[in-house]
Amino acid sequence: MITLSEITHSIHVKLSGAITNETLLSITEMAIVGIILLGSLVMLSFFLGYMERKVAAFMQIRLGPNRVGPKGSLQIVADTVKLLFKEGLTPNASDKFLFNTAPYIMVITTMLVIAPIAYSNGFQIWDTSIGVLYVSSVSSVSVIGILMAGWSSNNKYSLLGAMRCGAQIVSYELSIGLSLIAIVVLTGSLRMSDIVMSQADGWWIFKGHIPVLIAFVIFIIASTAEINRAPFDLAEAESELTAGFHTEYSGMKFAMFLLAEYINLFIVCAMGATLFLGGWMPLHFGADNAFNHAMDYIPGFVWFFGKTFFLIFVIMWFRWTFPRLRIDQLLNLEWKYLLPISMINILLVTIIAIFGWHF
């Protein structure tokens, strides 16, 4: 099987043959990667939008979009074109600079976080030694975008929505961080490729048994809250009185908020898949055996995307099943339940790591 890293390697060899200047080579490669990344993220958000609507329809005993394009696959394209044609209003009394910059901040921070994610063996944009820390810290910057959007809209409801959103995201980041640390402690490294390689004899969710299971459940709950999806979507709840921090946005800027939301969904599920479910590592049990060799026939990126989309499906499942939590119940959940459990969990994980009681 041709792996993705072989493709990238051959392209690199061809390019370095054509361009001799080192910096020019780097810049060309960065440009190619950038364009491919932008294109694939847009494709990804289209696909996720379509998947969301089809999954919702499946849960609600109806067909989803099925008119535009074969089986409705071009529905999101039609929606995007519609958004492009809409008038991008900037309210008169709004803070124009902040108003226009806020969506860009959200999208840029989201795209920055794509860098360390490992799609396949050796196929990573940037394999930095602080991969997990980088993801965790850069995704926190998106709160600024939300608060800017809410404040600059000069609208009571947007402000309320943005404040709630900000409080929610900042609180749940703690739980996410602590559950990521559980895996980091077991692996001993923040580097993404190390974490994936350490799961060569079994995924952490199986090897790490109880504490990792707890960390995984907390991670799923906290990341649903982090990306403002139901049942934690109070900030953009349509049937509450506020319509959210992006009330005043229309046209392309609104589309950018939507894009950022879907890419965020992909990123948290990718992180969950990488850290807890083995990333691109096939399902292995123990050391070299026939089962592992059989599993290896399925290429790495198929495993990675399979796991990520499974987690995305689970998070979409939550949205269409549960009612919404109230803001005080939401914050209650984090500060009184998830955070103490996470902290005790870290203790457990450390003890297990020291004594080697994991598999």
Partner 1 sequence: MITEDGDFVINIGPQHPSTHGVLHLKVWLDGETVKKVEPHLGYIHRSIEKMCESLSYRQYIFSTSRMDYLSAHINNQACALAVEMGLGVEVPDRAKVIRTILAELTRLASHALWWGCMGLDLGAVTPFFYAFREREFINDIMEETCGARLTQNFIVPGGLMADIHPNFVSKTKELIKMFRANIDEYNQLLTGNVIFQQRTKNVGFLSKEAAISYGTSGPVARASGVSCDVRKHYPYDAYDRVQFKEILGTAGDSWERYVIRIDEMRESLSIIEQLIDNIPEGDIVAKTKQVIKLPKGEFYSRVETARGELGVLLVSDGGSTPYRVKFRSPNFSNLSALGHIAKGSKIGDLVAMMATLDLVIPDVDR
Q: Which residues bind partner 1 (CB under 8 A)?
A: 56, 59-62, 156, 230-231, 233-234, 237-241, 320-329
By beta-carbon proximity to partner 1, the closer residue of 86 and 326 is 326
Q: Give the nearest distance from C-beta 160 to partner 1 in angstroms.
A: 9
By beta-carbon proximity to partner 1, the closer residue of 22 and 238 is 238
C-alpha 292: how far from chain center: 29
> Percent helix, strand, coil in the chain (nearest 5)?
70, 0, 30
Helix and strand numbers, DSSP H then E, in the chain: 15, 2
By beta-carbon proximity to partner 1, the closer residue of 33 and 331 is 331
Q: Give the nearest distance from C-beta 234 to partner 1 in angstroms.
A: 8
By beta-carbon proximity to partner 1, the closer residue of 221 and 275 is 221
Return phi, psi of residue 120, to 5°. Answer: -160, 175
Tokens of residue 13, six digits? 């060899």
Q: What's the CA gap between 62 and 73, in Å, rounded?
A: 16
Q: Give the nearest distance from C-beta 20 to partner 1 in angstroms.
A: 59
Q: Give the nearest distance from C-beta 238 to partner 1 in angstroms.
A: 6
Q: Give the nearest distance from C-beta 269 to partner 1 in angstroms.
A: 21
Q: What's the CA gap between 65 and 71, in Å, rounded?
A: 7
Q: Give the nearest distance from C-beta 168 to partner 1 in angstroms.
A: 13
Rg from Cα positions in the chain: 21
**Quick one: 40 exposed, middle or buried, by C-beta within 10 A (0-12, 13-18, 19+)?**
exposed
By beta-carbon proximity to partner 1, the closer residue of 24 and 59 is 59
By beta-carbon proximity to partner 1, the closer residue of 91 and 231 is 231
By beta-carbon proximity to partner 1, the closer residue of 230 and 277 is 230
Q: Which residues, 6+ apart, have CB-to-CB distance to 237 below 8 Å?
A: 244, 324
Q: What's the CA gap between 218 and 91, in Å, rounded?
A: 40
Tokens of residue 81, six digits? 């074109």
Q: Give the nearest distance from C-beta 357 to partner 1 in angstroms.
A: 33
Taken in order 135, 179, 266, 205, the sign of the CA dihedral is: positive
By beta-carbon proximity to partner 1, the closer residue of 22 and 62 is 62
Q: What's the CA gap between 188 and 203, in Å, rounded?
A: 15
Q: Give the nearest distance from C-beta 310 to partner 1 in angstroms.
A: 20
